[in-house]
Chains A and B, each alone.
Chain A
Amino acid sequence: MGYYILKRLLAMIPTLIGVAVLIFILLRVVPGDVVEARYLTQGSQFQSQDLMDIERKKLGLDQPLWKQFTTWMTGLARLDFGLSMWTGAPITEEIKLRFALSLQLAIMASLLAQLLAIPLGILAAVKQDTWVDYAVRVFSIAGLATPSFWLGIVMILTMLIVFKWVPPMVFTPLWVNPWENLAQLIWPALAVGYRYSAVGTRMMRSAMLEVLREDYIRTARAKGLWLKLILVRHALKNAILPVLTVMSLEFAFLLGGLVVTEQVFNLNGLGMLFVEAISRRDYTLTQALVMLVATFFLIVNFVVDIAYAWLDPRIRYR
């Protein structure tokens, strides 16, 4: 078991390096840089080329590419993410508040998604091919189909017209004022959670269906045991595993993937930070964000793999 853990940890490293190289190259290929983004915006009559050269030198953009890369990588190794090219502030500062918001939103959305998915999936499996099954499937697929940003717009509109209420637009952290905080985040969490519950419902349904066909379930039913008891004690235990896997993976994606939802609900999260950083060509910030999200994703993957292997001794990767 320990050997397996070590192997998986080591396997993350080349992936992370690959992500680092990819984002580094990608950003350098994109036209324009942070200096142009800052000083060419006004189309002003009085541009100065030397001003831009001075700025480039200060940010280290005049160095050869391999040098910029190694400087960044050595910084990463020391867990020093450097300074944002746009504001000059340490990147950890820039990310801190937004990370808290995005993390909270991801957690809330995931919880809501699972609260919806698991019971609905079980229901659909038990009542397969009845109208209940169809209703659940339609409901969950509708969730997959609806763009969450459109759902968000409709939600805000409904609340405005029907309840004459707009969710708070300034972010209060959970520890400052939990009520305001939840009042703001519950709506995007619902819009996103509904969407992601669809994936879980489908998985839960198929996993339950598979388990319900197993011989030992049939034996239990033949013996006349209560269906509910069977479900809870046998079926659920085995079916829940792949579902939790999938949902944990989806959770990892939620961290940086909520760009449009954040825009609609005016949330100062990692998604919008990404868009801003890319549009400003803030290389250091974008790189740091990508590494953060990728690392988060790999760690979640890792934890899920380990949990899977530990819970189900039949599965051990070579």
Chain B
Amino acid sequence: MAVTPQTVEELTRAEPRRAGWTGAVLDFIRQRPLGAIGGGIIVVMVAVAATAGLLAPYNPLANDYAAMLSPPNAEHWLGTDAHGRDVLTRILYGSRTALMVGLGASLIGAVLGALIGVASAYFGGRVDLIVQRIMDVFFAFPVIILALAVVAVLGTGAGNVILAIATPMVPRCARVVRSSALSVREMPYIDAARAAGFGHRRIILRHMLPNVMAPLLIMATAFLGEAILLEASLSFLGLGVQEPTAAWGLMLRGAAVEFAESAPWMAIFPGLAISLAVFGFNLFGDSLRDALDPRLRTQ
């Protein structure tokens, strides 16, 4: 960086660093407003999921045919669906399903992918080559097809959906982590650890894994958004979470599409909920990537 009068001024004018966690958070909000918005959305979503029981005015499973297909009104702020269930309640409870599936799939996919990626990079040679080929095989399947195939084998339902969504995530995560891990592997302290007689497992878990956390974190946040979308798609197809569970993708199925003209609230609100959630995760992840990637910092 050339030393110009402007930059010297900028340097001397540097803001005093604020202390501790609050400082970090406030800094983050100021420097990256978009990421802060994303983070805010995530926090709200988690809060809603945790307190859905307190917030929701009705039981998400209770049918009320006398009130079926009502537009938003005083009793039902977002209207009711084809079975008279309160849309607002189901959206609030739906956040639980979304988070559970999203976090579950993301976690499993990221952890598994990271382990495979790091191990592959660490052992190198023949092992690396074989693992790479296997990952390539999974990579060549379009995401939704792989998820569909897993659902066909395991069956529908929340647990199986988590596995189905995690499956295409694993090779993608493995690939990214592997390239990061490769650079770590060249570090001298890895050789030193080997020389000291540390086992493979210890080195991988305690030395290599922590160093690939940055790209892993970015991937995981991106996955969360993808996972929520994928769950919505699978439920929309009827292959994901099943009735009468409250799940956003499920709410978009069947009657929501059929009655879209006369009762659009059934289709609009769940879609907005999905979009908002994924939007939040993506904004946050985007800013996270910007923050952790030194090359993209502002001058």
Q: Which residues of A contact B (CB under 8 A)?
A: 14-15, 18-19, 22-23, 26, 29-30, 128-129, 134, 137-138, 141-142, 144-147, 149-150, 153-154, 156-157, 160-161, 202, 206, 209-210, 213, 253, 255-257, 259-260, 263-264, 271, 274-275, 278-279, 290, 293-294, 297-298
Q: Which residue of chain A has its CB nearest to the CB of B38?
A: A141
Is B33 touching A260 in the complex (CB atoms < 8 A)?
A: no
Q: Does B9 contact A (CB under 8 A)?
A: no
B182 → A minimal CB distance (Å)? 12
Contact with A259, one of B140, B141, B237, B261 (Cβ below 8 angstroms) = B237
Is B275 touching A260 in the complex (CB atoms < 8 A)?
A: no
Q: Does B243 contact A (CB under 8 A)?
A: no
Is A15 touching B236 in the complex (CB atoms < 8 A)?
A: no
Contact with A210, one of B140, B148, B295 (Cβ below 8 angstroms) = B295
Q: List 5 A-B contacts (CB under 8 A).
A: A23-B149, A141-B282, A144-B279, A145-B225, A264-B257
Q: Which residue of chain A has its CB nearest to the CB of B290?
A: A206
Is B268 touching A154 in the complex (CB atoms < 8 A)?
A: yes
A261 → B minimal CB distance (Å)? 10
A255 to B142, CA, bound (A): 8
Q: Using known A-B contacts A145-B276, A150-B252, determine if residue A290 contacts B296 with beta carbons closer than 8 Å.
A: no
Binds A, one of B120-128, B129-137, B201-209: B129-137
0/1 per residue, B98-123, Cβ < 8 Å to A? Answer: 00000000000000000000000000
Which chain A positions have C-beta within 8 A of B34?
134, 137-138
Which chain A positions have C-beta within 8 A of B143?
253, 257
Q: Using known A-B contacts A253-B143, A297-B140, determine if residue A153 contacts B260 with beta carbons closer than 8 Å.
A: yes
A29-B153, A157-B260 are known contacts; what are 13 more A-B pairs with Cβ within 8 Å? A15-B133, A18-B133, A18-B134, A18-B137, A141-B286, A142-B279, A144-B278, A144-B282, A145-B279, A145-B282, A257-B142, A257-B145, A259-B233
B32 → A minimal CB distance (Å)? 9
A293 to B260, CA, bound (A): 34
Is B261 touching A153 in the complex (CB atoms < 8 A)?
A: no
A127 → B minimal CB distance (Å)? 12
Contact with A145, one of B257, B267, B278 (Cβ below 8 angstroms) = B278
Q: Using known A-B contacts A256-B142, A259-B144, determine if residue A146 contacts B275 with beta carbons closer than 8 Å.
A: yes
B171 → A minimal CB distance (Å)? 12
Q: Which residue of chain A has its CB nearest to the CB of B276?
A: A145
Which chain B positions have C-beta within 8 A of A153?
252, 257, 260, 267, 271
Is B267 touching A290 in the complex (CB atoms < 8 A)?
A: no
A109 → B minimal CB distance (Å)? 14
Is B271 touching A150 in the complex (CB atoms < 8 A)?
A: yes
B132 → A minimal CB distance (Å)? 10
Q: Using known A-B contacts A18-B137, A210-B295, determine if residue A150 contacts B145 with beta carbons closer than 8 Å.
A: no
A298 to B268, CA, bound (A): 38
Contact with A147, one of B145, B148, B275, B282 (Cβ below 8 angstroms) = B275
Which A-B residue pairs are the 7 nearest by beta carbons?
A257-B142, A18-B137, A150-B271, A145-B279, A145-B278, A294-B140, A256-B142
Q: Does B274 contact A (CB under 8 A)?
A: yes
Is B233 touching A147 in the complex (CB atoms < 8 A)?
A: yes
Is A30 touching B267 in the complex (CB atoms < 8 A)?
A: no
Is B274 touching A150 in the complex (CB atoms < 8 A)?
A: yes
A257 to B276, CA, bound (A): 23
0/1 per residue, B224-247, Cβ < 8 Å to A? Answer: 010001001100110000000000
A142 to B141, CA, bound (A): 26
B243 → A minimal CB distance (Å)? 18
0/1 per residue, B275-294, Cβ < 8 Å to A? Answer: 11111001100100000000
Is A19 touching B137 in the complex (CB atoms < 8 A)?
A: yes
Q: Does B152 contact A (CB under 8 A)?
A: yes
Is A263 touching B229 in the complex (CB atoms < 8 A)?
A: no
Is B286 touching A14 in the complex (CB atoms < 8 A)?
A: no
A297 to B139, CA, bound (A): 9
Is B136 touching A147 in the complex (CB atoms < 8 A)?
A: no
Q: Using known A-B contacts A144-B282, A256-B145, A274-B148, determine if residue A150 contacts B267 with beta carbons closer than 8 Å.
A: yes
B68 → A minimal CB distance (Å)? 20
Which chain A positions have C-beta within 8 A of B271?
146-147, 150, 153-154
